[in-house]
Amino acid sequence: MSNEPLFFKPIFKDRIWGGTQLTSFHYNIPTETTGECWAFSAHPNGQSVVKNGQYEGVTLGELWEKHRDLFGNIAGDRFPLLTKILDANQDLSVQVHPNDEYARVHENGELGKTECWYIIDCEEGAEIIYGHHAQTKEELISMIEKGEWDQLLRRVKIKPGDFFFVPSGTIHAIGAGTIILETQQNSDTTYRVFDFNRKDAEGNLRELHIEKSIEVTETPSSHTKVSPETKQIDGVEITTYIECPYFTVQKWNLSGTASLIQEKPFTLVSVIDGEGELVHQGTTYSFRKGDHFLLPNEFGEFTLKGNADLIASYL
């Protein structure tokens, strides 16, 4: 049983729409089109690795399999969450994700994908696609077949600090010039609805998944309005954005010193700005923008000091 925070080394993913903004998080990125940092991942397509303490070098998936006590011995055949930072240098494809039931049947037992986005930064005038305007499946199919994308897709202007809940079945896309932290189910299943007729490096149009997209898209589209709740504990303001069956996501705005208690089976924490220290049982751990640490089960009382913005998630 570890009673220390476990810091993780992320995995990076090259994407056609990626850029170089992840360097602002103190990362050495592998390419000029690095689109994704997988901060907490136990997915077969990329596993983050512990970089401190007694589990140094161990993947998150191995911890889940062999040291379930760190996660409060909760049930499940795979680690439930995946946390990413995305750099959308260009528009992402318009996509939709299936729910658990559909993914299990059609994607070899993969989980569905409900996710949420915290907008860390974005250019002036940036926007996302969030939902659609079709009222029936027939109308959805007709507008897709006719390529009436401007009429179909619902566009929303964004600004830093915005938060969006994106349940499975929601058509969505992140727009160019946006950096987000995404908390999602542990799934890599994406159905592309439309990709702006973009071509890959070989000059090929990227694959679309129209039939599956239509099957899983919720119609009419619902846009879940989040109602953040904020409370102050000493020198930290804690805003809870969403509590859903898959995860709870909070922002910890630290300015000074705060004493907190980790009482969940585990808590994932990503530092999106600033720096500070975590003091636990007499030991001090420094953190800064770009760090990601897991607070294990029965971590108990700890103190945060500094000036930083952190995104925390738990089941």
Mark whether 154 is an active-site residue: no
Residues 13, 37: Cα–Cα separation, whole Å: 6
Phi-psi region of 23 (alpha: psi -120 to 50; beta: other; left: phi over 0): alpha
Residue type present at position 288: R
For residue 44, the 8-state DSSP code is T
Closest CA to 209 of 84, 106, 278: 106
Residue 36 tokens, joined: 């994704």
Residues contacting 77, CB < 8 A, separation 6+: none
Distances (CA, A) of 23 to 35, 72, 201, 262, 306: 11, 34, 23, 30, 22
Q: What token pair was written down for 11?
A: 């995995």
- The C-alpha atoms of residue 17 and residue 161 are separated, in whole angstroms, by 22
User: Which residue in the list 192, 198, 206, 288 is annotated as catalytic?
Assistant: 192
DSSP-derived 3-state class of residue 6 = strand
- Pick from 44, 2, 28: which is nearest to 266 by CA? 2
Residues tagged active-site = 192
